[in-house]
Amino acid sequence: MGQEPRRPSETGLWNFWRRGRRSTNMRRLFLALLLALLSVAPLAATAYDPAPDQALVRVLSERIDGDVNQGLLPADRAALMRAEIDAAQKLVTNSDSQATAMLADIDRDLAVYDNTVDINEANRDLFYHAGDAITIAMRDGAAWQVESVQNTDIMDVKTRDAMNVTGVQGVYLAKQPGYTALVLADPASGRHVRFRFYIVDKAVAN
C-alpha cells in the first residue's frame, strides 16, 4: 500500500497549537491572554467618569435655590428634590453610574417649574403659554451670548439689565401668541444654536 501524502509543514504559532506538549502549553497561554483581554475590555469601554455628574449636582442645587427665591418652586417640592440630589451625590461619590439617570430625572422635574431650556432643546419646536417666563441656561462652560431674538413683540427679555448667574443666558417672557426664535453664539468656538418657540394662548390651549 502506498504511503499517505504528507501534509505541508506547519510553522510558527499554528505548529505549536497543533503538535505536542509545547503546543498544548502555548495554547493554554494563548487562551489565558485572550480571556484576560476580554475581561478588561468591557470595563474600559464603560468606565464611569463622575466629573460631569458632580458638576451637574452643583448646577441643580443652584437651580433649586434660585427657583425657590423666585417663587417658582414650592418649598415642599424643593425639599424633596434636595433629598434626591443628596442621594445622587452618594452615587457619584461611590462612582455609581446610576447617578447619571437620577440627575437627568431631577433636571426634567425642575424644568416643569422653571421652564428652563438648554442645548438639548436647540433646533427643536418648543411650545409655551403666553405669560410663561422661559430661562435660557446652557450651563456647559461656554461663554454663550444671545445674538438675536426674532419677533420681540412675541417674546423678549423679562427684565432689562438683569444679572444672570453663571451658565444662564437670560430669562425671557412669552408676551403673546405667535412664533419667535432665539439664537445664541459662542465667540470662542464660532458655534451658533437656535431655539424655536411657539407661544400659544393659555385659554385656547386648555
Which residues, 6+ apart, have CB-to-CB distance to 47 below 8 Å? none
Which CATH architecture fits 117-205?
A: Sandwich (2.60)
Per the structure block, which three cell numbers stand in for 168?
444662564
**Angstrom distance (rounded) from CA 135 to CA 75:** 20
Q: Cβ(117)–Cβ(198) under 8 Å?
A: no
Which residues, 6+ apart, have CB-to-CB distance to 176 below 8 Å? 130, 153, 154, 199
**Domain limits of the chain?**
14-43, 51-114, 117-205
Give the torsion sign (CA, 19, 22, 24, 26).
negative
pLDDT in tens, 108-162: 898 888 888 988 888 989 999 999 999 998 878 889 999 999 999 999 998 888 7
pTM for the whole structure? 0.60
Q: Cβ(128)–Cβ(199) under 8 Å?
A: yes
Which residues, 6+ apart, have CB-to-CB distance to 28 below 8 Å? none
pLDDT in tens, 51-61: 989 988 988 99
CA angle 132, 138, 139 (to 5 degrees): 120
Q: What is the mean pLDDT of the chain?
A: 83
